[in-house]
Amino acid sequence: MSTQIRAQAEAQALRVRSGDVELAVKVYGDVKRPVVVLVHGYPDSSHVWNKVVGPLSARYRVAAYDVRGAGESTVPTHTAAYELEHLVADLAAVVDTVSPEQPIHLVAHDWGSIQSWEAVSTERLKGRIASYTSISGPSLDHAGYWVMQRLRSAAPGEIAKVATQLMHSWYIGAFHLPLAAPLAWKLGLDQLWPKLLERFEGIRGESAPTQSSDGQHGVNLYRANVAKRLLAPRERRTSVPVQLVVPTRDRFVSLELLDGIGQWVDQLWRRDVSAGHWLQLSHPELVVRYVSEFVGFIEGAEESAGLHRARVREGVKPGKNNKYAGKLAIVTGGGSGIGRETLLSLAEQGAEVVAADIDLAAAQRSAELAELLGATAHARKVDVGDAKAMEALAAWVGNELGAPDIVINNAGIGMAGNFLDTSTADWEKILHVNLWGVIHGSRLFGKQMVAAGKSGHIVNVASALAFAPSRMMSAYATSKAAVAMLNDCLRAELADQGIQVISVCPGVIDTPITGSTRFVGVSEEEQGRRREGAKKLYQRRNLKPQAVSAAILKAIDNNRQEVLVGSEAHGARLLSRLSPALSRRLARMELSL
């Protein structure tokens, strides 16, 4: 906050002349730093960037200006004065003033983004723009091509996409009605606006002082440009590096409009954020981070891991081998069994992966195998039940790699034997890993995912024993039942954020866990014998970790809430529902291993 106040205090107000109009420009930050120019959309003014200019100006020289017709800039009265070429000329005038020599980094939202596409793909500002971060505003020409290509394909699915986009754009039609929109703003929509934003977009904030005027006059942007460009689009290509920041829950721009954008842009990055249209208001830190990483990279710093994942590779079509391209997955217990197998399956299909395991060598081995499959992979040592260790892991992930898209809390230990023989230490040990590990992983990474607007997946591995009681497995089954309940509660909580929580309940899976399961209340020798017995049983069942990893990936792809693996898991589930009494009766059976 203090940087924000300081930066605001240092803001320098300029008036820049562009033809007949005068533009209000505010400039922040150190004169010697690279220059970032912010362009707002409709019905906003430069006010809309208030939450990002502070932190951004701590790193860069930042200029935010009111587009013609908005804020404190001149308001031309003729619709024709709002045509894109004038808007580009305005931007050029601002750029020439705030950075006469060095090319600037453009960051634009909504209509600002629409006009900036024009700026990066036409001659006027050639060589003057070093990078472009576009938030929620496509090029009208690209959109025109998008519509044409789909209509020409005559494929019902493609035409339906056009229809969907038209529905998203109802307001554009409304804006073309004489009087209607300006009248609404005059009659007090400006007063209502903050409430509408809060109600529909979940954004709290005060109204800009010029909101009513911004709303009335900005309508001309649509009237002057939309029909003209959509009906007769021109090819708009750019060699300026472009970072798309895409709010996936945008009510005003549909995601499909961005399909095929790679054909127009040489170097493209894309970051999806599960958020609404006004990202700079709902996720200011994220916007600052994304802009900083991108500008930093273009200015010569190393490409951050997150940016690297976001790179859209030309000619790489989404398919079986890169389904998870651009995604980051963390797998606890990733050094063996189900964890390793799931990690490798994700890596095989393009994900960047982090193998976290208490056995560092095992985690490193998993990472090495993931790299052989072509993935970027990391290995970290962690005791999942140790809050500090997990916080350190999460901090490392957050700083170095960015928020994960997929978190698999898989680390677990086995325990068997009578409840009365299970000591406090035994209980603490199993809950430490099986429950606390899941709690820490879900909490720490869940927070990161929410903050970064990741509509990802948290996969918590429970067990069929979560709903199949057994006198032999009270500690283990209890720990897993707790995980299953945590999953159900967490799923409800994170649904609003678009984060899926998946409960995995494997049956009898042949993994190394059998070799380390603790058998309470028996001698070392007897424990060894029972481990052997358990191992044999599990081997005879011959259900491999691959079966679980395949089920997990399928659940991720299909947004399933719960996956059962193995007929015994399905049977136990059915029994617990159809005849809980029988299920409890069976719990009394003593299986001799």
CA 555 – CA 567 distance, rounded (Å): 17
* 223 near other proteins, judged by CB under 8 A: no
In this chain, which of 336, 442, 479, 583 binds other proteins, going by CB under 8 A? Answer: 336
Is 65 designated active site?
Answer: no
Q: How many residues sit close enough to other proteins to count as binding (CB under 8 A)?
A: 13
Point out which span in 11-19, 84-92, 367-375, 580-588 binds other proteins (CB under 8 A).
Answer: 367-375
A 10 A CB-CB count for 133 gives 26
Least separation in angstroms between residue 550's CB and other proteins is 13
Closest CB to other proteins among 217 and 340? 340
Least separation in angstroms between residue 340's CB and other proteins is 6
Least separation in angstroms between residue 538's CB and other proteins is 13
Point out which span in 5-13, 362-370, 423-431, 564-572 binds other proteins (CB under 8 A).
Answer: 362-370
Closest CB to other proteins among 373 and 587? 373
SS3 554: helix
Quick one: which of 22, 217, 201, 195 has its CA closest to 111?
A: 217
Cβ pair 92, 125 in contact under 8 A? yes
Point out which span in 82-90, 183-191, 336-344, 548-556 binds other proteins (CB under 8 A).
Answer: 336-344
* 271 near other proteins, judged by CB under 8 A: no
* 378 near other proteins, judged by CB under 8 A: no
Count of alpha carbons within 13 angstroms of residue 355, beta-carbon side: 34
Active-site residue, from 42, 290, 476, 538: 476
Burial classification of residue 96, based on how many CB atoms lie within 10 Å of its CB (0-12 exposed, 13-18 middle, 19 or more buried): middle
Quick one: which of 481, 470, 381 has its CA closest to 438?
A: 481
Cβ pair 515, 531 in contact under 8 A? yes
Task: Name residue, tokens 């985690």.
Answer: 363
* 551 near other proteins, judged by CB under 8 A: no
In this chain, which of 172, 255, 369, 451 binds other proteins, going by CB under 8 A? Answer: 369
In this chain, which of 18, 46, 274, 366 binds other proteins, going by CB under 8 A? Answer: 366
Closest CB to other proteins among 239 and 542? 542
A 10 A CB-CB count for 43 gives 26
Least separation in angstroms between residue 341's CB and other proteins is 9
H runs (alpha helix) in 187-336: 190-196, 211-231, 279-282, 284-298, 305-310
* 365 near other proteins, judged by CB under 8 A: yes
Closest CB to other proteins among 562 and 568? 568
In this chain, which of 14, 192, 373, 537 binds other proteins, going by CB under 8 A? Answer: 373
Quick one: which of 306, 308, 359 has its CA closest to 334?
A: 359
Point out which span in 50-58, 169-177, 365-373, 425-433 binds other proteins (CB under 8 A).
Answer: 365-373
Under rule CB under 8 A, which residues in 531-550 are in contact with other proteins? 542
* 372 near other proteins, judged by CB under 8 A: yes
SS3 494: helix
Q: Before 43, cis peptide (omega within 30)?
A: yes
Point out which span in 13-21, 269-277, 363-371, 501-509 binds other proteins (CB under 8 A).
Answer: 363-371
CA 485 – CA 551 distance, rounded (Å): 20
* 503 near other proteins, judged by CB under 8 A: no
Contacting residues for 461 by C-beta, under 8 A, at least 6 apart: 338, 408, 409, 410, 412, 483, 504, 506, 548
| Integer angstrom CA distances of residue 210 from 9, 206, 278, 577 | 21, 11, 18, 61
* 512 near other proteins, judged by CB under 8 A: yes
Least separation in angstroms between residue 336's CB and other proteins is 7
Closest CB to other proteins among 74 and 336? 336
Q: How many residues does this entry show for the chain?
A: 593
Query: Residue numbers of the site for other proteins (CB under 8 A)?
Result: 336, 340, 344, 348, 362, 365-366, 368-369, 372-373, 512, 542
- Which residues does the annotation mark as catalytic? 476
